[in-house]
Amino acid sequence: MAIPIVVAADENFAVGAGVVMQSTLENTSARVHFYLFHDALSVESRDRFQRITDAAGNAELTLVDAGQALARLPKPLRAGAYTRMTYARLLAPQYVEADRAVYLDADTLVRDDVQKLFDHDLGGHALAATPDYGAVWLSLHNRVERDYFRRITEGRGVGSYFNAGVLLLDLEALRREGQMDRAVELIAKGRELRFADQCALNLAVAGGFSPLEERWNVNVAHRELPDDPLTDAPLRARVAAAFAEPAVVHYVGPKPWSLFPTHFKREYAEVLRRTPWRDYRQPLGSLSWKTQQALLKAWRKQAVSLRIEKNELRLRLFGRPIVQWTRPTTDAA
């Protein structure tokens, strides 16, 4: 049986969805069935997706036009960060005729066999996801964020909040129990959902999910979390291990196909070159003046990183350690 994999993309994220498909096929020996939810994809992009699956020989592709279904829902609260396409994962139980499926955001890079994720024991839950350690970090550093996650988890604590970028879905259970339908209802009611359908789905699931290891959803926006003294040591260790050997890299923040720097960008570019989007380049002229200034600042920050603390000094050049010094401890006499 083919592994059903759900991906969602509009034309702006087509290049990302192509890399998701290519990297999945390069790391998975089992047959794969991609369900690509989209809204007004160009004929050229559709052809490129088909070429990826045809070349693999062990894959098939179903295009699902979700435009009308998504148009009935309100725009996300943070319209600059999200479009209605983010809601597409909520439609999976309705359109994917299978018992279970894997969902992957269009800004991810697969580095391990998805069969392992597909075989995860759900333990009676309707879905599996990685607890959102980014939300933990935000809660530790920002009182407003802490209060928000307390409300969105209904007092269960931020540890019960998951990131929806990588999911294992028990579609049969979701159809029977209606969590996706409840999430859609919350969105339609216009409730404050800072992270769009991710928050709606967390409310609908109410903490009832099977946790995945951190390596199945490595959020590049929080690369420094393992060095954060406010985060508890076990979580720092798990996140450090996940970054050392990620199964799925999740490019939250600047997208790896853009001109902005990000972690695992070189590896992403190597996979991109093996897709029909191999010649893709984001035109600098397409960026506003404000965005160009942010781009320059980001590359300056990426080029040289200096961290000085009481007992430690670190100097990095393009992410590589150049100087690292730690004050030696002295044993008491």
Per-residue pLDDT of the chain (333 residues; tens, 9 = 90+): 899 999 999 999 999 999 999 999 999 999 999 999 999 899 999 999 999 999 999 999 999 999 999 988 888 877 667 889 999 999 999 999 999 999 999 999 999 999 999 999 999 999 999 999 989 988 988 999 999 999 999 999 899 999 999 999 999 999 999 999 999 999 998 778 989 999 999 999 999 999 999 999 999 988 888 888 888 899 999 999 999 999 999 999 889 998 777 889 999 999 999 999 999 876 666 767 676 676 567 666 665 565 666 566 666 665 566 666 666 655 544
Residue with tokens 């009182």: 143
The structural domains of the chain, ordered by start, are 3-282 (3.90.550.10), 288-333 (no CATH)
Q: Is 123 helix (H, G, I), strand (E, B) or coil?
A: coil
- Which tokens go with 50? 């088909």
C-beta atoms surrounding 150 within 10 Å: 15
- The overall longest dimension of the chain from CA atoms, in Å, is 76
Burial (CB count <10 Å: 0-12, 13-18, 19+), residue 62: middle
Task: Give Cα 190 to chain centroid, integer Å.
Answer: 24
- Which tokens go with 121? 């024991």
Does an H or E element contain 307, and which? strand 304-309
Give the CA angle between residues 227, 242, 223 to the nearest 5°: 40
What is each CA distance from 233 to 216, 238, 240, in whole angstroms?
20, 9, 10
The span from the CA of 86 to the CA of 193, in Å, is 13
Pairing mode of beta strands 100-104, 3-9: parallel
What is each CA distance from 78 to 97, 106, 110, 213, 323, in whole angstroms?
32, 18, 27, 29, 40
